[in-house]
Amino acid sequence: MRRISGGVIAPKGFRAIGVASGIKLSGRKDISLIVSNVPCVASGVFTRNVFKAAPVLVSMEILKNNPTGIRGIVANSGNANCLTGEKGIEDARRMSKIVEEKMGFESNTVLVASTGIIGKRLPMEVVEYGIDKACERIKFESSSTSAAEGIMTTDTKVKETAVHYVSGLETFNVGAIGKGSGMINPSMATMLCFVTTDVKISHELLYEALKGAVDETFNRISVDGDMSTNDMVIVMASGMSEFSVVKRDEKFQIFQNHLKEVLNDISMMIVEDGEGSTKVIKVEVCNAPKKNLAEEVARRVGNSLLVKTMMFGENPNYGRILAAIGSFGEKIKPEKLIVKVNDVIIFEKGNYVGFTDNSVLKGRYVKISIDLGVGKESFTLFTNDLSYEYVKINAEYT
């Protein structure tokens, strides 16, 4: 596996562009378009929130009806088109339809995504203008980076990646763009990720590969499964490489590993870009009796406001970590428990080692390792500290 440039246009058969339509009053890019030269096998993982945004519902429907003939994805930022009723559904369908018409694609071939403020109708005149512009522009220009820019909201950095596989004559590529700026956990900021690849694969196998890869990447940075109203991860496979995945064999594994790698890259970029955050916190729980206890402990420690603020203050008040772990009551066995912060033991088998100087917390990365000592299951979570800036960003969002 080797990282390459090009993002979503690294795989064969794809073009991409981002343009500014005016949804964002700042004048920044707010419409993104990815298209394929050929019909793609496609699959998606969507939020389980009951208030699914209109583009989520429309994309789920299109994917269900036409999982092997997808030609593109159109997305906007600045407005989530969520809680917008039947009119919102019409608006999302219209976004898809405009691309199909302008690009000469058949019906039900263009997926749609949105991110931004909830509860406001899309300004469709502006959106239509932007989509028109994107469809014109993409004919003579293609840029994964500009498409990545077009889906940013409070993101401060462009998120794109791509990997290349080669073995003898067989090669393939996987690329992705994404948006989402940390504190997704537990805050329900929208996470979008669009993946392209040129492998040949059925939509059943593509879904299976995607589902497994999402579980080990995005689900480690977002709380309670998928909470936001607009979250989606879409993958489109053009089949334009020689690499063909036909069953659950070694080649499936190779493809899934590459897919996982790009999803991991994007999810780490999201954590790195945490809203107002100054640190990336990794919470590793191991030797739990059950997977879900490992996950719950990791989430409770990672989501504790006292732990997050203590990290922001570089304040080695580690009792807060123990208090969060101990809140699980009798499931925790203090005599078996070992807790480390950046590999320095703070609690070991009944004994709290206590305060150390705060130099261990000075860096950008903090790892909290929790060995429950009562089983074999583990879970790793990534999150951020909680800063003044986070409060500012989210108090003033609209």
Nearer to a second copy, 171 or 187 (CB): 187
**Closest separation between CB of residue 123 and a second copy, Å?**
14
In the complex with a second copy, the residue whose CB is nearer, 217 or 222, is: 222
For a second copy, give the closer residue by CB, 144 or 387. Answer: 387
Helix then strand then coil, in percent of the chain rounded to 5, is 35, 30, 35
Q: Which is nearer to a second copy, 132 or 296 (CB)?
A: 296
**Residue closest to 98 by CA, chosen among 120, 119, 124, 123:** 124
Q: How far is the CB of 50 from a second copy (least distance, A)?
A: 4
Please give the Cα distance from 46 to 202 (Å, whole number): 19
Q: How far is the CB of 125 from a second copy (least distance, A)?
A: 19
Cβ proximity to a second copy, 94 vs 331, nearer residue = 331
Q: Is 104 exposed, middle or buried (0-12, 13-18, 19+ CB in 10 A)?
A: exposed
CA angle 301, 265, 257 (to 5 degrees): 105
Torsional sign, CA 152, 61, 43, 210: positive
Given 145, 190, 197, 229, the catalytic residue: 190
Nearer to a second copy, 43 or 84 (CB): 84
Which residues are 351's β-sheet partners?
A: 348
In whole angstroms, how close is the CB of 176 to a second copy at the nearest point? 25
The helix or strand, by DSSP H or E, that contains position 102, with its residue range, turns out to be helix 85-103
Shortest distance, CB of residue 294 to a second copy, whole angstroms?
16
Which one-letter DSSP state was computed for residue 196? E
Residue 190 designated active-site: yes
> Counting Cβ atoms within 10 Å, is residue 264 exposed (0-12), middle (13-18) or buried (19+)?
middle
The smaller minimum CB distance to a second copy, of residues 222 and 256, is found at 222
Question: If DSSP codes are grouped into helix, strand and coil, which group holds residue 390?
Answer: helix
Is the CB of 204 or the CB of 352 nearer to a second copy? 352
Question: Cα(391)–Cα(398) distance, rounded to whole angstroms?
Answer: 13
Strands 232-237 and 244-245 turn out to be unpaired
- What is the amino acid identity at position 105? F
Radius of gyration of the chain (CA): 22
- 95 near 115, Cβ under 8 Å? no
**What is the smallest separation between the CB atom of 255 and a second copy, expressed in angstroms?**
30
At closest approach, how far in Å is the CB of 340 from a second copy? 15
Rounded to 5°, angle at Cα 197 from 192 and 201: 115
Residue 327: CB minimum distance to a second copy, A: 4
- How far apart are the C-alpha atoms of 8 and 18, rounded to whole Å? 12
- Region of 239 (left: φ > 0; alpha: ψ -120 to 50; beta: rest) is left
In the complex, the residues that contact a second copy under the rule CB under 8 A are 48-51, 80, 82-85, 117-120, 183, 186-189, 224, 227-229, 303-306, 309-310, 312-313, 315-320, 322-330, 332, 334, 347, 350-352, 354-355, 386-388, 390-392, 394-398
14: enclosing H helix or E strand: strand 14-19
Sign of CA dihedral 174, 178, 181, 182: negative
| Angstrom distance (rounded) from CA 65 to CA 63 | 5
Q: Which positions are catalytic?
A: 190
